[in-house]
Chains A and B, each alone.
Chain A
Amino acid sequence: MSNVNVYKQRPDSGRAESPLFHAGLDELARKGKNSAGVTLREKKLLGHLTLRGDASDPDFAGGVHKALGLELPVALTLVANADASLQWLGPDEWLLIVPGGSEFATEQRLREALAGQHVSLVNVSGGQTILELAGPKAREVLMKSSSYDVHPSNFPVGKAVGTVFAKSQLVIRRTGEETWELLVRRSFADYIWLWLQDASAEYGLAIKA
């Protein structure tokens, strides 16, 4: 495994702009109303790492568990502890999300635990962001936007699926009874933000910082 791309990609000094920086969500949150059917929050500038490896190899699964304290999730699920989440993206691909600023240390810990194995670990923090939709009408917004069945009988808490959404593509993750996360690519973030404003207008949309 080459270490050529392993460096602290987001320096402590200097200003980082999330994919929805231009939308001024902090400003909107201050003006926002209190009673709304849908609450939107950008979980911005988190550390995103894409991990690939052989799930059937006990050394790989054991190494991941040793470094993260999380078991590799099975298809279409997500496991999380206090500060990290690990999501199944494909049979040999997972997404690890850790608090912003800790991704470099986590990456080094994982590389140490998986040293010598045929794996890939890439920091994709700059390429995507998480939008959290919450509230009693959040599911209605998802139903308007995607053909995937988001009814609780098909979409329990802890499920995560990549699917088509608003004629685009993203990952829907259910993290709580009324809490959903959308994993959005940077170049689609503005479009999805505009779409969500339009789709949630009839329920009332509140922004949280």
Chain B
Amino acid sequence: MLHIFCPHCGELRSEEEFHAKGQAHIPRPLDPNACTDEEWGDYIFFRDNPRGIHHELWVHAAGCRQYFNVTRHTVTYEILETYKIGERPSVTEASVAAKKAVDQGVTA
């Protein structure tokens, strides 16, 4: 069982209190009427399915009932970070790749 840090409650809570709500950071088109069918279809239906770092929307359904973002590794299930809506993630694919390169002694 995972323990997930709720950024609103400020403590680790049991996984069963949460629900995953899919990919995070999907901005609604500013002018929906100007979208092509393809752009609108991408916005509504198409989601990333990465192998590695993924930013997701979760809700603390049984607790404070607030939505927040989770950065999760889709292979290891490790939750690397949770942060409030509107904030930017500090752990991203780029930051993890950069760290890995440093660890392996590769100079950028």
Interface of chain A residues 163 through 200 with chain B (CB within 8 A): 163-164, 169
B59–chain A nearest beta-carbon distance, Å: 11
Option from B9, B11, B17, B66 in Cβ contact (under 8 Å) with A164: B17
Option from A76, A90, A161 in Cβ contact (under 8 Å) with B65: A90
Q: Judging by beta carbons under 8 Å apart, are B10 and A76 in contact? A: yes
- B8 beta carbon closer than 8 Å to chain A: yes
- B64 beta carbon closer than 8 Å to chain A: yes
- A206 beta carbon closer than 8 Å to chain B: no
Q: Judging by beta carbons under 8 Å apart, are B11 and A76 in contact? A: yes
Q: Judging by beta carbons under 8 Å apart, are A169 and B9 in contact? A: no
Q: List 22 A-B contacts (CB under 8 A).
A: A75-B64, A76-B9, A76-B11, A89-B64, A89-B65, A90-B64, A90-B65, A90-B66, A91-B64, A91-B66, A147-B14, A148-B13, A148-B14, A161-B9, A161-B63, A162-B63, A162-B64, A162-B65, A163-B17, A163-B63, A164-B16, A169-B61
Q: B60-86: contact bitstring with A at CB < 8 Å (1 yes, 0 no)?
A: 011111100000000000000000000
A75-B8, A89-B64, A163-B63 given; 8 more Cβ-contact pairs under 8 Å: A89-B65, A90-B8, A90-B66, A91-B66, A93-B64, A147-B14, A162-B64, A163-B17
- Chain A contact-residue range equals 10 to 19
How many residues does chain B have at the interface if contact means C-beta atoms less than 8 Å apart?
A: 14
For the complex, would chain B's binding face be called helix, strand, loop or mixed by DSSP majority? loop
Q: Judging by beta carbons under 8 Å apart, are A163 and B62 in contact? A: yes
Rounded to whole angstroms, the CA-CA distance of A93 and B66 in the bound complex is 10
4 closest A-B pairs by beta carbon, nearest first, are A90-B64, A169-B62, A147-B14, A162-B63
Rounded to whole angstroms, the CA-CA distance of A75 and B66 in the bound complex is 13
Chain A residues near B16 (CB, 8 Å)? 147, 164
Rounded to whole angstroms, the CA-CA distance of A76 and B13 in the bound complex is 12
Interface of chain A residues 74 through 123 with chain B (CB within 8 A): 75-76, 89-91, 93
Chain A residues near B65 (CB, 8 Å)? 89-90, 93, 162
Option from B8, B11, B17, B62 in Cβ contact (under 8 Å) with A91: B8
Chain B residues near A162 (CB, 8 Å)? 62-65
Q: A136-168: contact bitstring with B at CB < 8 Å (1 yes, 0 no)?
A: 000000000001100000000000011110000
Rounded to whole angstroms, the CA-CA distance of A91 and B61 in the bound complex is 14
Q: Judging by beta carbons under 8 Å apart, are B62 and A164 in contact? A: yes
Nearest B-chain residue to A148, judged by Cβ: B14
Interface of chain B residues 1 through 57 with chain A (CB within 8 A): 8-11, 13-14, 16-17
